[in-house]
Structure 1
Amino acid sequence: MYIFLRTALIAALAGWLFETLGIFLPWLLGPMFTILLISQFTSLKLFWPKSLRTAGLILLGVQIGSSFTRDAVLLMWLDLPYMAFMTISVVSLSIVLGLLFKRMVNESLATSLLGSIPGGLAQMVVIAEDIPSANLTVVTMMQTIRIFMVVTVVPFLTVFLTGREQSELTVQAFTFAPTAVLVGLLVGVVLYFGMKRVGFPAAEILAPILTLAIVQTVTGEILIDIPYWLTAFAQICIGASLGLQMEGIGDKLTVRLGAAIVLNNVLLISFTAFIAYLLAKWLPDYIFLDFFLSAAPGGIAEMAITALATGGDVALITSFQLFRLFFILLVASPIVAYIVKKLDAKSGA
């Protein structure tokens, strides 16, 4: 208990310090950087319970879901071709970069591809566990370093981009509709436990997003309004968890492996910026920031937090990120795993 309280105090103070200094995404990056540095360079014991990370993701999912108004959901159908174009482009380049990574560090094909595809740390590791030729340590490092780079580099890049002013954002009035809230709670519980039962990843954040999108679209009501302090609490929970999740990564890296992973991610982030530029030129009614955060190979939670802070269209960005997540988990990863297993069987690996 003492170790947890110490960790919580450090995380909260780090967020407050970053907020005071005016650093971008203070309540996420402050705890993440501080806890990562302490765990990496000192012998101080830190602990963060999984339950708090889950609570943070659920709260963030609720906040993201509240942006899915009826109009936003209906507009998503018009964006499907652009979602498909962006997703297929990013996943295709990820596979090419995986092949390049294989040549650079002489890792197995399974390791290189599963580490390069931006499908999420936990999800890719679970898939890698089912493939004997995959090196779990390297896959974990590749996905973890990508999260670290995207969470640090992309938000700071957005500082130089033009978002929407508060007056330009569509603000929907929060109304308490008891029946709709009760229906939302029931749908959310069923979705969450249904997803957990079948082992679907990221249920903590996807269930509330889908629940609010469904209920608010059907009823036309805005069911909840998350206050700033609760959003900050959610970000602390996620940031502290990310910081501890990256513990010990530096001890496992070689210079050659680290350079290859960094190059892999720099090229991928640069390519997503290029794709965002093309779409912004092609569709002048949208802004570059929205497409950049939509294409960035980070997690839904991290990109949504960045969107909230920069004036991005949270519903649009989350829609694109969700589409890519579903495509990678349901289409790209199973195909890659199947092909790799067939090749391993032929080579006797």
Structure 2
Amino acid sequence: MTVFLRTALIAVAAGFLFETIGMFLPWLLGPMIAMLLVSQFTKMELYWPKTLRTAGLVMLGVQIGASFTRDAVFLMWLDLPYMAFMTVSVVGLSIVLGLLFKRMVDESLATSLLGSIPGGLAQMVVIAEEVKSANITVVTMMQTIRIFMVVTIVPFFTVFLTGREEGEMGERVFTFAPLAFLAALAVGGTLYLGMKRIGFPAAELLAPILTMAIVQTVTGELLVDLPYWLIALAQVCIGAGLGLQMERIGDKLTFRLGAAIVLNNVLLISFTAFIAYILAKLLPDYIFLDFFLSAAPGGIAEMAITALATGGDVALITSFQLFRLFFILLIASPIVTIIVKKLDAKSGN
């Protein structure tokens, strides 16, 4: 308990400090950077329960899902061609960068590809465990460093981009509708248990998002609007967990490997900005910020938090990120895994 309280105090203090000095995304980046620095440069024992990170994801999922109004869900169908174009472009380049990474550090093809595809840390590590030639440690480092770079670099650049004022998003009236609320509980519980049973990743985040989207679309009610302090608490829960996820990563990182990972991610982030620029030019009704956060190879939670803070279209950005996640998990990763396993079999690995 003492270790947890110490960790919680550091996380909250870091968030408060970052907010006081006007840092962007203070309650996410403050705890994350504090946990990373303390774990890397001190011998202080830290502990952050997985249940708190889960609670943070659920709260954030509810807030993200609240953005999926009936009109927003119907408009998603019109965006499907752009989702496909963006997703195929980003995944295609990540595969090319994986091949470049292989040449730079002489890792296996499986390691290079599974580490480069932006499908999420936990998901790609699980997939890597099924491939004998994959170096799970390197895949973990590649995915972890990319998340850290995206969560720090992308929000920094969005400070210089123009988002929407609150009024531009349309007036939102939240009411307590008992029947819709009970329906949301039933749908959410069913979705969560179903996702857990089939082993689908990020159920804690995706189940609330899908629940809110389904119930609000069917009923036409806007169910909830979480207060700022609760969203800040959710960010602390997620940020502290992310920071400790990178614990002792420096002990396993060589200069050559680190340089290759950084180059890989800088090129991928730059390419997502280029894709966002193209789509913003082709579709003047949208803004560059929305497409940039939609294409950024970070997690849904992190990009949604950034969207909430910058005036981005949370529903649009989340739908693009969800489309990419499903595409990678259901199509790209299985194909890459099958190809790599066949090549391994031919080479005798």
- The alignment's TM-score, normalised by the length of structure 1, stands at 1.00
Q: Which residue of 2 aligns with 1:183?
A: 183
- The answer to whether the aligner puts 1:96 opposite 2:96 as a matched pair is yes
Identify unmatched segments of 5+ residues in structure 1. Answer: none
Task: Work out whether 1:26 is the aligned partner of 2:38.
Answer: no
1:228 aligns with 2:240: no
The within-5 A match list for 1:5-84 is: 5-84=5-84
Query: Does residue 149 of structure 2 align to residue 144 of structure 1?
Result: no
1:99 deviation in Å? 0.3
**For residue 262 of structure 1, what is the amino acid of its counterpart?**
V
For 1:298 and 1:9, locate their aligned partners in 2 and report how far apart those are by CA, in whole Å: 27
- 1:111-190 equivalences under 5 Å are 111-190=111-190
Cα separation, 2, equivalents of 1:171 and 1:140: 43
Q: Distance in 1 between matches of 2:19 and 2:124?
A: 33
Amino acid at match of 1:205: L
Which residue of the partner structure matches residue 249 of structure 2? 249
The alpha carbon displacement at 1:64 in A equals 0.1
Q: Quick one: which amino acid aligns to residue 81 of structure 1?
A: P
In the TM superposition, residue 6 of structure 1 has moved relative to its aligned partner by: 0.6
Partners of 1:148 and 1:35 in 2: how far apart? Answer: 12
**Hey, what's the Cα distance between the residues in 2 that align with 1:168 and 1:18?**
28
Give the counterpart letter for 1:51 in structure 2: T
Distance 2:170 2:194 in 1: 33
Aligned counterparts, 1:208-287, within 5 A: 208-287=208-287
Map 1:188-207; keep pairs closer than 5 Å.
188-207=188-207
Aligned partners of 1:269, 1:154: CA distance in 2, in Å? 8
In 2: Cα distance, 1:2 partner to 1:272 partner: 43
Instruction: Classify the secondary structure of the residue corresponding to 2:133.
Output: coil
- Alignment correspondent of 1:324: 324
The number of equivalent residue pairs is 349
Q: Which moved more, 1:290-299 or 1:8-17?
A: 8-17
Query: C-alpha deviations, 1:72-114, integer Å up to 9, x for none?
Result: 0000000000000000000000000000000000000000000
Q: How far did 1:3 drift?
A: 0.2
How far apart are the structure 2 equivalents of 1:168 and 1:223?
Answer: 20
Structure 1 stretches of at least 4 aligned residues deviating more than 3 Å after TM superposition: none
- The amino acid across from 2:315 in the alignment is A
**Could you report, residue by residue, the CA deviation over 1:156-197 in whole angstroms, capped at 9, with x for unpaired residues?**
000011111122122310011000000000000010011011
- Distance across 2 between alignment mates of 1:304 and 1:225: 15
Which deviations, in whole Å up to 9, do the C-alpha atoms of 1:123-143 show, x marking residues without a partner? 000000000000000000000
Cα distance in structure 1, aligned partners of 2:285 and 2:49? 43
Distance 2:189 2:117 in 1: 30
1:301-347 CA-to-partner distances (Å, cap 9, x unmatched) read 00000000000000000000000000000000000000000000011
* Of 127-136 and 161-170, the range deviating more from structure 2: 161-170
What's the CA shift for 1:36?
0.6
Q: What's the counterpart of residue 306 of structure 2?
A: 306
Distance 2:76 2:168 in 1: 19
Which letter maps to 2:309? A
| Residue aligning to 1:343 | 343
Structure 1 distance, partners of 2:223, 2:267, is 41
Q: In structure 1, what residue type is equivalent to 2:213? A: A
Alignment partners' CA distance in 1, 2:170 and 2:64: 14
Q: Spell out, residue by residue over 1:189-235, the C-alpha distance to the aligned partner (whole angstroms, 9 max, x if none).
A: 01001101110000000000000000000000011110101000000
The farther-off stretch of 280-289 and 167-176 is: 167-176
**Identity fraction in percent:** 82
* 1:283, distance to aligned residue in structure 2 (A): 0.1
Aligned CA-pair RMSD: 0.4
What SS does the aligned partner of 1:76 have? helix
SS in 2 for 1:201: coil
CA shift at 1:35, angstroms? 1.0
Secondary structure, aligned partner of 2:68: coil
State the distance in 1 between where 2:212 and 2:76 align: 15
Gaps of 5+ in 2: none
